[in-house]
Amino acid sequence: MIRIRNLRKAYYLNGQTNVVADNISIDFESGKVIGLLGGNGAGKSSLLRMVAGVMAKDSGTIDISGTVSWPIGFSGSFHPDLTGAQNTKFLARIYGVDTDELRAYVEEFAELGQRFYLPIRTYSSGMRSRLAFGVSMGIKFDTYLVDEVTSVGDARFRKKSMRVFTDRMQSSGALLVTHNLNVIQRVCDQACILHKGKIMHFKDVGEAVEKHREMSA
């Protein structure tokens, strides 16, 4: 369970204020895959990062029961001067999983070849995303935070990523951000729409998608 109460987050730029969370209160059930919908800049990625604890909130509380991943695709947990392999083994030790098993899984999954043994600072953003996704899927979490899983790699790699993600969802939940409405309808149990700092919760995913389309139009 992820319990959010009176969450507020605003950005200030050039004298303008953009409130992406305006005293939001909501519960995300354990074991559910919940899609997060909203326009660009609505605060979907910010919400994931606040839940993960890698972005500061202005006020409010986020209480979590169970284990939660970092936002998949977010490479802030990697040390740029360490190799992909070294970063993987470091995270394995932090999360208490077998280092050699996780390194072998990520090396095969991420398909980085010899670059897996080069420093992260030499990676492209796509390579970092593939590494982050591989490490995340290689560690068992109660809830996965996923930001645009369908954008990782080429078409073949995206299909592979979705297969692994769908398999993990048999025993875990997720907060899923994606602009692909077909993915939302296929894998999500519930959905939310973020709009102008407010959040709307739908137990009917189809209803959420239709509402999102209306608001986007």
Q: What is the CATH number of the domain that holds 215?
A: 3.40.50.300
Bridge-based pairing of strands 33-37 and 59-64 is: unpaired
What pLDDT does 20 receive? 94
- State how far the Cα of 40 lies from the Cα of 62, in Å rounded to an integer: 23
Evaluate if residue 7 carries a pLDDT over 70. Answer: yes
What lies within 8 Å, CB to CB, of 191 at 6+ separation is 34, 35, 36, 37, 184, 202, 205, 208, 209
What pLDDT does 160 receive? 86
102-157 pLDDT, tens digit each: 999 999 999 999 999 999 999 988 888 889 888 988 999 999 998 876 566 677 88
Whole-angstrom CA distances from 59 to 1, 22, 83, 163, 208 are 20, 10, 36, 37, 27
Q: Model pTM greater than 0.95?
A: no
Could you tell me if residue 8 is inside a domain?
yes
Could you tell me if residue 211 is inside a domain?
yes
56-99 pLDDT, tens digit each: 999 999 999 999 988 875 555 689 999 999 999 999 998 899 99
- State how far the Cα of 129 lies from the Cα of 62, in Å rounded to an integer: 26
For the chain, the straight-line distance linking the first and the last C-alpha, in angstroms and rounded, comes to: 33
What pLDDT does 57 receive? 96
Residue 171's Cα: distance from chain center in Å? 17
Could you tell me if residue 197 is inside a domain?
yes
Could you tell me if residue 181 is inside a domain?
yes
CB 37, CB 184: distance < 8 Å: yes
What pLDDT does 150 receive? 55
Could you tell me if residue 28 is inside a domain?
yes
Q: What percent of the chain has pLDDT over 90?
A: 66
Could you tell me if residue 14 is inside a domain?
yes
- State how far the Cα of 136 lies from the Cα of 73, in Å rounded to an integer: 9
Could you tell me if residue 217 is inside a domain?
yes
Nearest to 57 by CA among 173, 201, 197: 197
- Both tokens of 143, joined, read 């809830």
How many domains is the chain built from?
1
Residue 49 has φ and ψ, to the nearest 5°, of -70, -35
Which structural domain range is residue 184 located in? 1-67+143-153+171-217
- State how far the Cα of 212 lies from the Cα of 18, in Å rounded to an integer: 20
What pLDDT does 29 receive? 92
What pLDDT does 153 receive? 65
Q: What is the mean pLDDT of the chain?
A: 90
What pLDDT does 72 receive? 75
Which whole number is the average pLDDT over 153-170?
Answer: 84
Could you tell me if residue 102 is inside a domain?
no
